[in-house]
């Protein structure tokens, strides 16, 4: 079995030492972890109960550009969907009205959606597909550009691009 030359072994050792120094620097700049350990999520997917599932699917897919990832049926009828946009998901399910048909939805909740896309273009596409904007694209005081909409059930959404 061939052996490495001394210069090759030194080069490999030097690379390992340099990598170790970089790793130690990285650890030194990391924030201190809380004890006990705090929650660390990888994603969050809101589950919204809606009055008219087909209308809401249309709003999110045609209006905002989500795609249907999954559909599920209940008693032979469409009961809900998982919608996807990039790495993010929103789930919609048809209200069974067990808590009343006049139940107010969306009060006190705003979903803040961030993207790398041009929000002016996204707003124009939403408008062209019948979505009424609550707020036209505006540059926020912290530099992000965002527009706002309300879905058919009263859930508020802001679509934002950080500066």
Tell me: the pLDDT tens digits for 76-121?
Answer: 999 999 999 999 999 999 999 999 988 889 889 999 999 999 999 9
Looking at residue 32, its pLDDT comes to 81
CA distance 120 to 146: 8
Q: What is the pTM of this model?
A: 0.76
The domains found in the chain, sorted by start residue, are 47-96+106-161 (3.10.180.10)
Dump pLDDT digits (tens) for 26-68. Answer: 666 777 877 888 888 888 899 999 999 999 999 999 999 999 9
- What is the maximum alpha-carbon separation in the chain? 80
Would you say residue 138 has pLDDT above 60?
A: yes
């Amino acid at each position: 079995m061939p052996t490495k030359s001394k210069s090759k072994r030194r080069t490999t050792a030097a690379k390992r030492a340099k990598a170790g120094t970089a790793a130690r620097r990285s650890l030194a700049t990391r924030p201190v972890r809380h004890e006990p350990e705090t929650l660390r999520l990888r994603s969050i997917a809101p589950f919204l109960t809606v009055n008219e599932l087909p209308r809401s699917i249309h709003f999110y897919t045609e209006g905002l550009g989500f795609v249907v990832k999954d559909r599920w049926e209940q008693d032979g009828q469409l009961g809900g969907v998982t919608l996807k946009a990039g790495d993010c998901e929103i789930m919609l399910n048809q209200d069974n009205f067990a808590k009343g048909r006049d139940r107010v939805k969306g009060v006190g909740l705003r979903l803040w959606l961030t993207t790398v896309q041009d929000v002016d273009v996204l707003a124009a596409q939403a408008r062209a597909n019948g979505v009424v904007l609550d707020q036209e694209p505006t540059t926020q005081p912290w530099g992000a550009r965002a527009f706002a909409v309300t879905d058919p059930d009263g859930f508020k959404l802001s679509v934002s691009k950080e500066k």
